[in-house]
Amino acid sequence: MTNQDRRPDEARLDQTLRRLQYILPLGIVAAVSVYAFVSMFFLQTRLDAWARLGIEILIFGGLGAGIAWFALRRVRQDLAAQRERDRAARVQEHILAAITANSGDAIILLDNDNKIQSWNRGAELLFGYHAAEIVGKDFETFVPPDLQDELSYLDRQLQEQGVVRGWITRRLTRDGNQPTVDLTRTLLRDDQGQVIGSSAILRDITEREANARRVRELNRQLETQVAQRTRELAESNKELRKRQRELEDANAELQELDTLKSEFVSLVSHELRAPLTNVSGSLELLLADTDSLTAHQRELLTLANDQLARLARLVRGILNVSRIEAGQTLLQMQAFDITALVERMCSQWQFCDPDHTYRAFACAPKRAKMKCGLRSTTTAKALTPKTCSASLINSIAPNAATRAKRMGMVWVCISRLNWWKRWADDSGRKANKAPRPLFTLPCRSRVTPLSQVQAARRIRVKFF
């Protein structure tokens, strides 16, 4: 047996013994030769026989024993080191064997004929067989019928590459299940490089593969939903763009109609103002003739002239509306006497509606007796567009007349906000609770500049 046939530790021990086999005799021969040479030329004539005997005993006995002691000591040290290395190797082998035997993964040792030589606990858990039942059987036992060709393919790959790693396949268990496993095959060789078998490590990845399939299925569903939502969104965007174009077309038509309306209103207003101006001029001429008119005729002509002026204001209002919509004018705020406006409008309503009596009164802040009519101490002026205020008050009057009884009284009350105390009609009836105003107008006193008007101060107008 050569050094290559032994383990490294055994080879080193054999090499040491071989060296001692040659060094020890050569050392003794060298020592004897040196002694013989010295004795022949230096000691033979100078020392007697007893002295030479003592020297020979000392040299041959002591030198031989010393060389033997050192040689045996070296051999003992090498043997102790060898025993320590063997012990460490056995411990390491025991640890590796324990890891292999108790591993959660199935670790199987196969010979060159794919016969099972070793079977660990992980293999028992995976396949359901005990080691005594399965050792010596062919590894083909665990291959499903539809995967028999796979085993020969793996053997070829193993011989070519020496290892097959990460092969996902199925194996047959004792109860007939076919779990998905991750297979790793490794080719095993001895010290001379000869193939002595292979190892198979199998890990159960059934749950992992099931989760992966669920993830792939969810991804597929998600991609389908995303594609569907994308199509729906594209259709919605298309419909939205269509609606937007329709709105733009409708807006363009409305703008065109608005332009036509403004032009029509402007044209009609201008056409109406011409005859109104002529009629107003005629009435002014008639009123100027003071000798030929009776008092009743003059009253009628005055009323007609006022109504004509009202009609002219309405025409101007229509024209102003068209101008405001076109952005060509703004409402101008102005201060005016609201009591005079209401008094004039009451006269007009009275003439046009003889079935009702229109009375107006103003409430002063002082606790004075409320008087009918507009001769009170209220001196506040409204701060609003005068034409708009007149139109607003005039639009409420028919509703008040409708609610009143035939030949009844329609009251128009004017007061500053929060100054209302009590109200009374000319029959002496009184009430502690004032009616709610139909609307309020911003106001200022005679001495307050227009630029210092407080928004909290208001004038209210109420029909009841």
User: At how many degrees (to 10) do helices 386-403 and 338-352 cross?
Assistant: 40
Same domain assignment for residues 315 and 380: no
Cα–Cα distance between 373 and 412 in angstroms, integer? Answer: 9
Instruction: Among 302, 330, 358, give the residue marking a domain's end.
Output: 330
Q: What is the pLDDT of residue 375?
A: 38
- 175 belongs to a structural domain: yes
By mean pLDDT, which of 19-28, 351-360, 428-437 is the weakest?
Answer: 428-437
- 209 belongs to a structural domain: no
Q: Which of the pair, 1 or 73, is modelled with greater confidence?
A: 73
Instruction: Among 305, 330, 355, give the residue marking a domain's end.
Output: 330
- What is the phi-psi region of residue 443: left when phi exceeds 0, alpha when psi lies from -120 to 50, beta otherwise? beta
Angle of CA points 441, 442, 444, to nearest 5°: 130
By mean pLDDT, which of 38-52, 251-265, 296-310 is the weakest?
Answer: 38-52
Asked if residue 322 has pLDDT above 50, the reply is yes
pLDDT per residue over 133-143, tens digit each? Answer: 888 888 888 88
Same domain assignment for residues 68 and 82: yes
What DSSP element (H or E) covers 414?
strand 409-416
Same domain assignment for residues 277 and 299: yes
Q: What is the pLDDT of residue 152?
A: 85
Same domain assignment for residues 135 and 63: no
Same domain assignment for residues 446 and 346: yes
The answer to whether the CB of 121 falls within 8 A of the CB of 103 is yes
Q: What is the pLDDT of residue 244?
A: 92
- 458 belongs to a structural domain: yes
The answer to whether the CB of 463 falls within 8 A of the CB of 400 is yes
Region 166-170: what's the mean pLDDT? 90
pLDDT per residue over 398-438, tens digit each? Answer: 666 666 655 566 666 666 543 333 333 333 344 344 444 44
Q: What is the pLDDT of residue 457?
A: 37
State what percent of residues in the chain have pLDDT above 90: 10
The answer to whether the CB of 179 falls within 8 A of the CB of 126 is yes
Q: What is the pLDDT of residue 406?
A: 52
- 319 belongs to a structural domain: yes
Asked if residue 68 has pLDDT above 90, the reply is no
State what percent of residues in the chain have pLDDT above 70: 58
The tokens describing 451, both together, are 């630029």
Q: What is the pLDDT of residue 372?
A: 31
Residue 364 burial (10 A CB sphere; 0-12, 13-18, 19+): middle
Same domain assignment for residues 442 and 355: yes
Q: What is the pLDDT of residue 324?
A: 63
Same domain assignment for residues 18 and 110: no
Residue type, 292: S
- What is the phi-psi region of residue 327: left when phi exceeds 0, alpha when psi lies from -120 to 50, beta otherwise? left
Same domain assignment for residues 234 and 318: yes
Q: What is the pLDDT of residue 8?
A: 63
DSSP 108: E
Instruction: Among 174, 204, 234, give the residue marking a domain's end.
Output: 204
pLDDT per residue over 360-391, tens digit each? Answer: 766 554 433 333 333 333 444 555 555 666 66
Cα–Cα distance between 297 and 313 in angstroms, integer? Answer: 24
- 95 belongs to a structural domain: yes
Q: What is the pLDDT of residue 235?
A: 92
Q: Which of the pair, 297 or 450, is modelled with greater confidence?
A: 297
Cα–Cα distance between 381 and 379 in angstroms, integer? Answer: 6
The answer to whether the CB of 370 falls within 8 A of the CB of 423 is yes
Q: What is the pLDDT of residue 39?
A: 65
296-331 b/e with 16+ CB inside 10 Å = b? eeeeebeebbbebebebebbebebbebbeeeeeeee
The answer to whether the CB of 308 falls within 8 A of the CB of 283 is yes
Q: What is the pLDDT of residue 387?
A: 60
> Between the CA of residue 422 and those of 213, 358, 362, 383, what are the distances in Å?
87, 20, 11, 25
Same domain assignment for residues 236 and 321: yes
Q: What is the CATH number of the domain that holds 150?
A: 3.30.450.20
pLDDT tier for residue 42 given thresholds of 50, 70 and 90: low
Region 124-138: what's the mean pLDDT? 88
By mean pLDDT, which of 76-80, 169-173, 386-390 is the weakest?
Answer: 386-390
Q: What is the pLDDT of residue 346?
A: 78
Same domain assignment for residues 96 and 127: no
Same domain assignment for residues 121 and 84: no
Q: What is the CATH number of the domain that holds 259?
A: 1.10.287
- Specify the pTM: 0.41
Asked if residue 216 has pLDDT above 90, the reply is yes
- 444 belongs to a structural domain: yes
Q: What is the pLDDT of residue 221?
A: 93
Q: What is the pLDDT of residue 433?
A: 43
The answer to whether the CB of 127 falls within 8 A of the CB of 121 is no
Residue 121 burial (10 A CB sphere; 0-12, 13-18, 19+): middle
Q: What is the pLDDT of residue 40?
A: 62
Same domain assignment for residues 95 and 182: no
Q: What is the pLDDT of residue 13?
A: 66
Cα–Cα distance between 129 and 98 in angstroms, integer? Answer: 19
Asked if residue 320 has pLDDT above 60, the reply is yes
- 226 belongs to a structural domain: yes
Our count of domains for the chain comes to: 4
Region 154-175: what's the mean pLDDT? 89
- 374 belongs to a structural domain: yes
> Which domain does 86 fall in, by range?
3-100
Average pLDDT in the chain: 72
Q: What is the pLDDT of residue 447?
A: 34
Q: What is the pLDDT of residue 104?
A: 81
